[in-house]
Amino acid sequence: MKLLITGGAGYIGSHVVRLLEKDHDLVVYDSLVSGHRESLPSGIAFVHGCLSDTSLLDRTFSENKFDAVVHLAGFIEAGESMQKPEKYFHNNTVNGFNLLNAMLRHNVKKLVYASTAAVYGQPKEIPIAEHAEQKPTNYYGASKLMFEHMLDAMKVNGMQSAALRFFNASGAAFGVGEHHEPETHLVPLILQSALGKGKQLRLFGTDYPTPDGTCIRDYIHVLDIAKAHALALKHLEKGKEGKFNLGSGKGYSVKEVIEAARAVTGHPIPVLECARREGDPAVLIASNEKAIKELGWMPEHGLNSIVKSAWEWHSTNPNGFKE
């Protein structure tokens, strides 16, 4: 298929690009606001631009006959979204709307969307199934959920979509890895700490109702996430659609992830225990049955493989990407 990949220079996007480029013809569209040109394969077709630029979008669609779009571009910091909600609604919702409209203008009606577990908010049941209540507790989740609602509404125009709700994407593959500025994700923060970079690692909350008192999350390898994109495209080609959780179905506490990193890195990784952060649910674990059954997806990498692959990248790229 000929595919437009928005946000292809980002952490997850660059893995998706490297996996999909084997079987598809790709054009990456990225403003590089948080992504890295260096994370893309050298020969890839690249449009440096923002989704707010409707003329550039139109030109890109006119110059390429796309079969489908994979939409990963967006802002991702839940905490920041509570301070700057307008930034999140503008990029994740309004700029997403620009993309959908450009697709309709150019008669491209298949889309795979990088959605998030943040659409669920505080879950009432674990594991979380796709039909669970969607009541985000931050504006990041709300801005992403609004895009899902627009996708649903645009079915009336023939839009066909697969919304993939990622849980905690982590790990590395293809010689690219995770480099966000600022970094807020646990695995890279732990590994930066092992490298002696950044502030001391802070552990938020040790009194949760979990076996060791720390929050439990579902960590899913970025390569497993990339593979789900290939399967979602096949699903769309068969005329199907849907919303799918992408999680391992297993949860690990913050302390367990730190222990795994101590074992892999051989570093003591000292931790500063702090009070709980507001709005952090105690446990978030996906039910991944729907993706397994309907997409034929099977996550292959556990926590150890996530930490090992991430460490391999961080220890050889201690300063992340250079730009």
Ligand X SMILES: NC(=O)c1ccc[n+]([C@@H]2O[C@H](COP(=O)([O-])OP(=O)(O)OC[C@H]3O[C@@H](n4cnc5c(N)ncnc54)[C@H](O)[C@@H]3O)[C@@H](O)[C@H]2O)c1
Write out the residues near ligand X by the rule CB under 6 A: 6-7, 9-13, 30-35, 50-52, 72-74, 76, 91, 95, 114, 116, 144, 166, 168-169, 180
With the C-alpha atoms ordered 26, 30, 34, 39, is the resulting torsion angle positive or negative?
positive
Cis peptide before 127 (omega within 30 of 0): yes
With the C-alpha atoms ordered 202, 207, 212, 215, is the resulting torsion angle positive or negative?
negative
Amino acid at residue number 155: K
For 244, the enclosing helix (H) or strand (E) is strand 242-246
Nearest approach in angstroms of CB 268 to ligand X is 26
Distances (CA, A) of 89 to 94, 144, 239, 246: 6, 8, 30, 23
Concerning whether 88 is annotated as a catalytic residue, the answer is no
Cis peptide before 182 (omega within 30 of 0): yes
Nearest approach in angstroms of CB 237 to ligand X is 22
Helices (H), 154-287: 186-194, 222-237, 254-265
- When the beta carbons of 29 and 311 are compared against ligand X, the nearer one is 29
Q: Collapsing DSSP states into helix, strand and coil, what is residue 266?
A: coil
Nearest approach in angstroms of CB 120 to ligand X is 11
- When the beta carbons of 275 and 319 are compared against ligand X, the nearer one is 319
- When the beta carbons of 213 and 242 are compared against ligand X, the nearer one is 242
303, 260 contact by CB (below 8 A): yes
Nearest approach in angstroms of CB 294 to ligand X is 20
- When the beta carbons of 83 and 156 are compared against ligand X, the nearer one is 83
- When the beta carbons of 76 and 172 are compared against ligand X, the nearer one is 76
- When the beta carbons of 51 and 69 are compared against ligand X, the nearer one is 51
- When the beta carbons of 166 and 244 are compared against ligand X, the nearer one is 166
Nearest approach in angstroms of CB 233 to ligand X is 16
Q: What are phi and psi of 20, to 5 degrees?
A: -75, -25
Helices (H), the chain: 11-20, 54-63, 78-83, 85-88, 95-105, 139-153, 186-194, 222-237, 254-265, 289-290, 303-316
Nearest approach in angstroms of CB 115 to ligand X is 6
Nearest approach in angstroms of CB 239 to ligand X is 25
- Distance of alpha carbon 29 from alpha carbon 56, whole angstroms: 10
What DSSP assignment string belongs to 105-147?
HTT--EEEEEEEGGGSBS-SSSSBPTTS--B-SSHHHHHHHHH
258, 190 contact by CB (below 8 A): yes
275, 213 contact by CB (below 8 A): no
From 113, 140, 208, 252, the catalytic residue: 140
Active site residues: 140
